[in-house]
Structure 1
């Protein structure tokens, strides 16, 4: 038995809650993962995991052992990177998940600069607006907009998205230009709905004008759960859109979108970089955090005094 492989397999099963998912992230067979954990238990003469037909549960002894294993694996990685001078030139694979519009409009165009600075980092970007299971999907970190629902995660606020309301000229020619946000509720006007990843429901929008504060839900004939598709539906004239400024500005400049309700304000949406509490923040992740901080400072700066959230690094 290779002790390092066995420890790594055990840790991944605990984190993923599944032998199958652990095997997928380690890129080995499920049989191999099972054998490594069994060999580890035999050597220790302790039951580390209880496996049922539905899930894998860590035993009390296994939970204590896992805490030590995570620290040991992190120390080994740190030792390897220090000897290879990785702190000066970070290297290795980094798995990151980001929303599709941010990836398309901000991150992807800036990747040549990232690669020039960190040529030895292999950046694997998952691009979606879905809710990612950081541990189960073996993702190092995610970039997400909105308030955080899981307080156990480590989060760093790296940006704030400012919003506006927009519609395509073809929609306004057909439906007319609404003078007040309430006209989107009970008239012939329509919005394009954006489906929240955690609930599958269309997200309402809070707006304010002086002392007047309202929540607009609107009426829709189409709702989408992907930011790029949401924008495309709006450009096609399917309804009124709520968009971050970075998504709208080029289309406004080309006359493809028209701003509405300019005298109404929105609270900015926080943008967080999030990673699991047990994930070692090595040189490559620190390098990515530093780069994202710089990138978002140009495109979606955070108001003074809001830079760090829970456990920010």
Structure 2
């Protein structure tokens, strides 16, 4: 291959599943994107993309080729800046995914300083509660909370995210402010149940003991499957919640929520910076990981 342009165009089409959207994001004509990918397929001797009237999907050969192409593009980008002494360690496109509330409450408010210091950085930020596929969806890295269940991924610990108990002032005025775990029962408290999958058993109210952490099953009027809805239910006075300190702090500072049982907080959540392969730890990704760790540090235990 004479240059990396074909790989860049192919990777963008594969990630966006559309020649039109990929061409628009790269500032080229759709026809050029289609021609370049067709020429690439002829050069490598394999069909890399399934094309339909609705979308574009990677073939089996395309998935293998895409994984290698992403590694090559990452290494080429790092090679370009290996002798740079300008301090601009983040340049080019960086595609990241993280939990929605973490993005909204902590990361996005800090981004203006990051982008001002790195004007050549093009950040694509996905914020969702689902577990994305790093390879198939073309993410350079993701931030995940909780256990890493996929052993094929490379996880770099960031810290333990502080968790707190909270409720709205209106709810506490109606039911009472608990001072002990027993008060949760005697005062008749209810909790909002967060469930990733409806139909599974709720986790209950977590609290520390001398032997670790235990769970107390409390009744609840509502079950939700997204963190924003979980927080909104507490703000509406529907019950107690246990959530990340970073996301709940703005509501507490504004008086919309009140922390309860501060000496009986739930177990902190492990936060990790995850990549699909060690080769994905380019200079740009490493720099973003360091920046993220600094931004989140005040919210870690």
Normalising TM by the smaller chain, what interval?
A: 0.7 to 0.9
CA–CA distance in 1 between the matches of 2:151 and 2:284? 24
State whether residues 166 and 241 of structure 1, in contact with CA within 8 Å, keep that contact through their aligned partners in structure 2.
yes
* Residues 211 and 82 (structure 1), Cα distance of their counterparts in 2 relative to 1, 3 Å cut: closer
Q: Give, in angstroms, the shift of residue 237 of structure 1.
A: 0.6
CA–CA distance in 1 between the matches of 2:212 and 2:79? 58
Aligned residues: 293
State whether residues 71 and 279 of structure 2, in contact with CA within 8 Å, keep that contact through their aligned partners in structure 1.
no
State whether residues 9 and 33 of structure 1, in contact with CA within 8 Å, keep that contact through their aligned partners in structure 2.
yes
1:78 aligns with 2:75: no
Residue range with higher mean Cα deviation, 114-123 or 204-213: 204-213
Other-structure match for 1:206? 206
CA–CA distance in 2 between the matches of 1:212 and 1:285? 35
Q: TM-score, normalised by structure 1?
A: 0.72
Other-structure match for 1:307? none
* Residues 85 and 143 (structure 1), Cα distance of their counterparts in 2 relative to 1, 3 Å cut: same
CA–CA distance in 2 between the matches of 1:6 and 1:278? 24
Any idea what the Cα deviations from partners look like across 1:14-56, whole Å, max 9, x if unmatched?
x76xx93687557589987776555445434x44659699975
State whether residues 203 and 215 of structure 2, in contact with CA within 8 Å, keep that contact through their aligned partners in structure 1.
no
Map 1:101-140 to 2 at 5 A: 101-140=101-140
Other-structure match for 1:284? 284
Other-structure match for 1:242? 242
State whether residues 235 and 257 of structure 2, in contact with CA within 8 Å, keep that contact through their aligned partners in structure 1.
yes
Q: TM-score, normalised by structure 2?
A: 0.74
Other-structure match for 2:215? 215
Structure 2: gaps of 5 or more residues = none
* Residues 251 and 63 (structure 1), Cα distance of their counterparts in 2 relative to 1, 3 Å cut: closer
Other-structure match for 1:20? 17
Map 1:1-313 to 2 at 5 A: 4-8=4-8, 20=17, 24=21, 27=25, 39-44=39-44, 46-47=45-46, 56-59=58-61, 69-82=69-82, 88-178=88-178, 181=181, 189-196=189-196, 199-200=197-198, 202-211=202-211, 213-252=213-252, 255-277=255-277, 280-301=280-301
Structure 1: gaps of 5 or more residues = 302-313
